[in-house]
Amino acid sequence: MLERRPLFGALIGLTLVFTIWHMSFQEAVSNGANGVNGGGSGPYPPEPPVAVVTWSELAGNQTGWYSAAPPMGFMLVNPADSLPKDDYTSLIDLKDFKFTINFSNCSGSSRSSRSGSRSRSRRRKREDDADAPSDSLKSDDRRSPLVLVLVHSAPTNWYKRNTIRDTWGRYDPRAKLVFLLGAVNSSVLQRRIEQENRMYDDIVQGSFLDAYRNMTYKHVMALKWFTYHCPEAKYVLKADDDVFVNTPALYDVLAGLQTQRRRLLFCQEIRNAPVKRTHRSKWFVSIPEYRDKYYPNHCPGYSILYTPDVAYQLYREAMRQPYFWIDDVHITGTIARRINVTITPTDAMLLNRTAKDAIVEGRANATDQLFFFTTPDLREGEIRKLWKAVTAGGGGR
């Protein structure tokens, strides 16, 4: 299967370039025309239709697609230089924020193959780094990751984190994996998190309580970590710990692009979602919290791909605006609208539950369908089966 892999990467690369260009063209023509209602009864839109992209279809439609890709432009080398002096120690309306667990190594990758043994001096240095921005922002001799992968995870979800480390988040020199956690009230749980981090060196923890209504703090903390500790990443992927990302395909496509796009916010798009006003709803929002009847178009937060210019601008603007607890709406809807960035929908790059079940159950071949992301709420066993499926038949690297 080795001889098929260059063709695999080229074909899916052409598809992504065309998708991004086509959606950008539509946005420019429509200038924000209204879409269909996609709010549904929960935070996620209805199941996307099964839209299979086959290799035979790609082979007949590849001429000239690379020339359609818009140029990337430039990204600030040190974006943090333009922020207020106290920015690092604040988080929206929290003025005493700190990274209680942190590290400054954006290059390379911290892997599950690492043992837990590490010298006290190195651990002490990491703890000191938690209280100050990294001097490594000014370093030019490090290998910049193609993709910075920021995974939102609950403190007790160590099994989910290990599943990701074993599968789509496993070592790849093109990526840097980071798990984002908030603070906990249990000293026993905190020690276990610290032990886990000594083993894998891939956890960043903030000083706010890890709670459901604090998810916007976690989202902005993720963008803060990118801004201060990994601004050289060429792309930023924000994901939840219950999804599957087809990282072999995604990395191959991004690495194969001749140019990078500016102002990319790539996700499944929720349109015209109504604000939930009934107290029975998990997503109840009062009128003082949010006065409009409908939310702006936004991304469900389980899988979002940013270019670094968008990640930085979202961070800077979110730090200036009042707190709103539904992070998907606030960051990729309200804040994205304020910085005048529009969503490029994932469309056929999103594998819906029906297609996912077919792959997991062995009724479909993962390498016959191009996809980057799945819908959320996957079990760990499903994630492992999907990983085996995309890597077994030449669909990976």
Reported as a single tens digit per residue, the pLDDT across 37-88 is 333 334 445 544 433 333 233 323 332 222 233 433 345 456 778 899 999 9
Neighbours of 108 (CB within 10 A): 12
Angle (CA) 170-173-178 rounded to 5° is 55
pLDDT band at 278; cut points 50, 70, 90: confident
Smallest Cα–Cα separation from 146: which of 233, 249, 72, 227?
Answer: 233
Task: Return d(Cα 183, Cα 71) in angstroms, integer.
Answer: 41
**150 with 220: CB under 8 angstroms?**
no
Span 164-180, average pLDDT = 97
pLDDT band at 274; cut points 50, 70, 90: very high
pLDDT tens figures, 33-47: 333 333 333 444 554
Question: Residue 221 half-sphere exposure, CB side, CA atoms within 13 Å?
Answer: 32
pLDDT for the residue numbered 367? 83
pLDDT for the residue numbered 79? 74
Amino acid at 120: R
pLDDT for the residue numbered 356? 96
pLDDT for the residue numbered 32? 36
pLDDT tens figures, 312-371: 999 999 999 999 999 999 999 999 999 999 999 998 899 999 999 999 999 999 988 889
pLDDT band at 194; cut points 50, 70, 90: very high
pLDDT for the residue numbered 119? 36
pLDDT for the residue numbered 142? 54
* Average pLDDT for the chain: 79
The DSSP secondary-structure symbol of 112 reads T
Hunting for tokens 């990526």 — which residue is that? 175
pLDDT tens figures, 216-271: 999 999 999 999 999 999 999 999 999 999 999 999 999 998 776 789 999 999 99
pLDDT band at 105; cut points 50, 70, 90: confident
Is the model's pTM score more than 0.95? no
Smallest Cα–Cα separation from 322: which of 346, 295, 288?
Answer: 288
Smallest Cα–Cα separation from 227: which of 168, 314, 164?
Answer: 314
pLDDT band at 107; cut points 50, 70, 90: confident
pLDDT band at 110; cut points 50, 70, 90: low
CA distances from 331 to 58, 74, 124 (A): 34, 23, 34
Phi and psi of 180, rounded to 5°? -105, 125
pLDDT for the residue numbered 41? 34
Span 190-215, average pLDDT = 97
pLDDT for the residue numbered 327? 96
CB-based contacts of 193, cutoff 8 Å, min separation 6: 101, 155, 181, 184, 203, 205
CB-based contacts of 121, cutoff 8 Å, min separation 6: none
- Among 78-82, 134-138, 287-291, name the one with the lowest average pLDDT: 134-138
Question: Residue 94 half-sphere exposure, CB side, CA atoms within 13 Å?
Answer: 17
- Among 7-21, 101-115, 234-248, name the one with the lowest average pLDDT: 7-21
